[in-house]
Amino acid sequence: MAASNTPKAKTERLMNLTMCLLSTRRALPKQRIRRMVEAYQQVETDEAFDRMFERDKDELRGLGIPLVTEDIGGGFDDEVGYRIDQRDYALPDIAFDPDELAVIGLASRTWAHATMAAPAATAWRKVAAGDDSTEEAFVGLEPRLGGAEPAFDALKDAVLGGRSVTFGYTKAGEASGATRRVDPWTLTSWRGRWYLVGHDLDRDAPRIFRLSRTSAEVTDAGPAAHPPPGDLDAQAMIADLGDSGAPVATALLRVRSEAGHALRRRATGVTALDDQWDQLTLEHGSIHQLADEVVSHGADVVVEEPPALREAVVTRLRAVLEAAS
């Protein structure tokens, strides 16, 4: 039976080879490794095994695994053996100073979305175990990164799992949507909106999809056939496309000094009102999405114009109060 060389089989083979070479203090000859690693037992010829083993050695070294080659023949026998030194393989303990821990902690709290909040919190607990002092750095800071579109969870899982998907998508200006078949590459946030970047199977080309235009129903269509390119820059693709929510209206916001940095970066004008407040002129493409962003800043941002944006913010704040009461 020929050995499988799918990405999953290759990863499993490399893992088993690594465990095999870590489990011994003495270098193992190639033929013994072949008997110990199940995937190698399925290789039909010695020549095919030699080629696969050489490729796997290069893969491990390319991953930074310290593969050691030693002469184990003795005398006039030039047989070589292989092992991985556990002392070189183990990573050293990583230490963070209080400021670094504070930054990592804030990063872990940016995810307001339920499916990402738990993994972020778990990772933070492992990093900051035993150091409660970093919590003081969080007082008054509550960063948020959303992802509330109905399709977010399914598309996130597809990206992480390398799965092809189908979903309904309605383009701007169209009344009805169409089914799209996509090998997803990445999800990225750009100017307050979430986008999926991937390979459109029907058009056989990279495409960008705004999640707010994507149906909630996402269907798994099997393993993806088009992996993301190594030089993928999703945000640059969105910016070049010009479909990142072209500004159609202007808002005036009063922003407290040293606050609202994300808003300041997008502002087309900033006027200092006094020592505590600045006025920002901001172009936007959606009142509702800008209202969500304004609310996330709490009392640090006040809407001056337009009235529709101010009302949208007030509506959201009232909903928060009702939920808390």
Q: Which is more confidently placed, 171 or 143?
A: 171
Task: Lowest mean pLDDT of 12-21, 59-68, 144-153, name the range.
Answer: 144-153
Residues 29 and 64 reside in one and the same domain: yes
Nearest to 219 by CA among 167, 182, 150: 167
pLDDT per position as a tens digit, 241-258: 754 445 568 899 999 988
Residue 197: which domain range? 158-241
Residue pair 135/178 in contact (Cβ under 8 Å)? The answer is: no
CATH number at residue 71: 1.10.10
Whether 147 is covered by a domain: the verdict is no
Q: What is the mean pLDDT of the chain?
A: 80
Whether 144 is covered by a domain: the verdict is no
What sign does the dihedral 228-208-285-176 (CA atoms) show? negative
Total domains in the chain come to 4
Q: Which two tokens stand for residue 126?
A: 């492992």
pLDDT per position as a tens digit, 55-84: 999 999 888 888 999 888 665 567 889 999
Helix (H) or strand (E) holding 84: strand 80-84
Whether 78 is covered by a domain: the verdict is yes
**Boundary residue ending a domain (206, 241, 276):** 241
Strand partners, 214: 169
Q: With pLDDT > 70 as the criterion, what percentage of the chain qualifies? A: 74
Whether 149 is covered by a domain: the verdict is no
- Radius of gyration over alpha carbons of the chain, in Å? 27
Whether 320 is covered by a domain: the verdict is yes
Residues 41 and 104 reside in one and the same domain: no
- The whole-number pLDDT of residue 222 equals 93
The arithmetic mean of pLDDT across residues 198-208, rounded, is: 92
Residues 307 and 253 reside in one and the same domain: yes
Angle at 296 between CA 294 and CA 297, to 5 degrees: 70
Residues 85 and 13 reside in one and the same domain: yes
Rounded-to-10 torsion of CA 298, 194, 211, 7: -140
Report in angstroms the alpha-carbon separations of 319 from 118, 173, 324, 325.
25, 31, 9, 10
What is the DSSP code string of 231-277?
T--HHHHHHHHT-S----EEEEEEEETT--HHHHHH-SEEEE-SSSE
Q: Within a 10 A sphere around the Cβ of 187, how many other Cβ atoms?
A: 22
Strand partners, 168: 179
Q: Residue 114: which pLDDT band, with cuts at 50, 70 and 90?
A: very low
The arithmetic mean of pLDDT across residues 318-322, rounded, is: 79
Most confident of 50-59, 172-181, 285-294: 50-59
Whether 196 is covered by a domain: the verdict is yes
Residues 16 and 77 reside in one and the same domain: yes
- The whole-number pLDDT of residue 48 equals 92
Whether 207 is covered by a domain: the verdict is yes
Residues 79 and 106 reside in one and the same domain: no
pLDDT at 1 over 60: no
**Boundary residue ending a domain (241, 271, 292):** 241
pLDDT per position as a tens digit, 121-137: 566 555 555 555 444 44
**Boundary residue ending a domain (66, 89, 112):** 89
CATH number at residue 271: 3.30.70
